[in-house]
Structure 1
């Protein structure tokens, strides 16, 4: 079953006119004009409703429609890095403590399945299979990226504990035999992010979840956002948030000023008065 579509934020429809635009217009023309306006409003409101269901980050441009080439590749494994506990509570316009990295607008356009380092946990629960993928040509250490994703999924503050599930990594051999992952975690350039998220608008800036694929914008992975002083913790948030959409979790809102932001609260563009929190488990 395809996963949910996670759309960036909302568009406010323009108010409809209350009277005919042109005096003396024929009754037939006035009827056609009203029908056109009503039809446009219905389409706009329909898009708004879909956005509210799985909406995320504010669009900056219209995404392009194209398909990426998916290939398999084996990569050397590396020990998964540990994720530091606790999250930054900064809500001011502070920069991440890691120097901004230059991320190309486009990579090579090809998605490769990476070798998932480490081992699956021994936790019990409904099995959710996953793959870790990345576009080539990003200038990012993909072995380290795969290790961070593994660590985030295995965390005792992650979705395994929060949802009572068990993540199982699929190998390229599994995929060659026809296995289809429940969750795909794909690192992509800003341009490819726009393509994979289309028709959702990501504008080369933000991430999304589209049909169960957590598309992680390489720009955000590399430099984070101002609401997280710690880049590692922001990466933890964006993986958990987008994977959460793949597990059918919808958006949440800040429960109150000074409280920890729910993981399904959109934390890339603001915190609504909450403090940053990158985990599904809040304690």
Structure 2
């Protein structure tokens, strides 16, 4: 049999390369999926423990426990700790523009921050008092005092961490503090999180050093994987990252139709659970899931 002509072999190779390119483009489109970026889709090539917010650690406060410490009851047995919190149905105030148009996300802010002037009283009866302040990057369109009010409303809510009977919180604008809730543009958030060896890829939040770093993109737009309100998603951000500070690791979905734990990385998908922003329910029961190794 006569060997194929050289030009025929070259044409066959070109056809194979074109098919490979088409398949590659199709795979990229699938990876991008809803929301326009692959990072929000579950990555089956890595485990959840390898995600960018694996950072649980119990951080001691600046001062020793003070002012009538409680007996530290177990989460299941204790009711919500008394506090100056709003009713559990109250949602944190929104800092989003009142318009129905999508808020503008500034990818790269000024790099400098303004500390909110707001402060408040101690919330919760736990003996471990954690003072925090709120800072907002300049040039990203978020008002610092409004953001501080939203964060304070979350940590004051009986469904948040004060119900553990151990931790209490206080918003401060000056003086000693244990951590900062810092809202930053995606580029600035990435730079801060990278100081702790975390790759947040312009998309997610982190807890590093004395800083709970909130990506302004998530604060303003929520997550396509979370079908609750924007205020609830902001509550999830605060509860999840503060949960790391007080020693909680990641948790998985406990079962189809059950509330997703606040310590679940819900941005990577709910895995059959329902969206949930709070570590405790209104009856004071901890909404837990299996620990992620």
Question: If the TM-score is normalised by the length of the shorter chain, which range does it land in?
Answer: 0.5 to 0.7
Is residue 189 of structure 1 aligned with residue 185 of structure 2? yes
Alignment of 1:111-122 (within 5 A): 111-121=113-123
User: Where do residues 61-210 of structure 1 align in structure 2 (5 Å cutoff)?
Assistant: 84=89, 99-121=101-123, 123-172=125-174, 174=175, 179=176, 181-198=177-194, 199-210=197-208
Aligned residues: CA RMSD: 3.0
Distance in 2 separating the partners of 1:125 and 1:133: 26
Distance 2:112 2:170 in 1: 24
From the superposition, tell whether residues 218 and 83 of structure 1 become closer, same or farther in structure 2 (CA, over 3 Å): farther
Find the residue that maps to 1:268 and give its secondary structure: helix
SS in 1 for 2:117: coil
> Between Structure 1 and Structure 2, how many residues are aligned?
203
Shift of the 85–271 alpha-carbon distance from structure 1 to 2, 3 Å rule, reads farther
Query: Structure 1 length as normaliser, TM-score?
Result: 0.63
For normalisation by structure 2, the TM-score amounts to 0.61
Distance 1:49 1:189, change over 3 A: closer
CA pair 154-260 structure 1, distance change in 2 beyond 3 A: same
Alpha carbons of structure 1 residues 53 and 163: separation in structure 2 relative to 1, 3 Å: farther
Higher RCO (C-alpha 8 Å, min separation 6): 1
What are structure 1's unaligned runs of at least 5 residues?
1-7, 14-47, 57-79, 87-96
For residues 50 and 237 of structure 1, the distance between their equivalents in structure 2, rounded to whole angstroms, comes to 19
What is the match of residue 235 of structure 1?
A: 234
In the alignment, the residues of structure 2 paired with residue 250 and residue 231 of structure 1 have an alpha-carbon distance, to the nearest angstrom, of 24
C-alpha contact 1:53 1:251 (8 A) present in aligned 2: no
- Contact 2:115–2:134 (8 Å) recurs in 1: yes
Structure 2 residue runs of 5 or longer lacking an equivalent are 1-39, 56-84, 92-98, 284-293
> Bigger radius of gyration, 1 or 2?
2
Superposed counterparts of 1:209-224, under 5 Å: 209-224=207-222
Q: Which moved more, 1:136-145 or 1:189-198?
A: 136-145
Identify if the C-alpha distance between structure 1 residues 122 and 278 changes in structure 2 by more than 3 Å, giving closer, same or farther. Answer: closer
SS class of match (2:113): strand
> Residues of 2 paired with 1:152 and 1:98: CA distance?
24
Residue in 2 that maps onto 1:249: 248
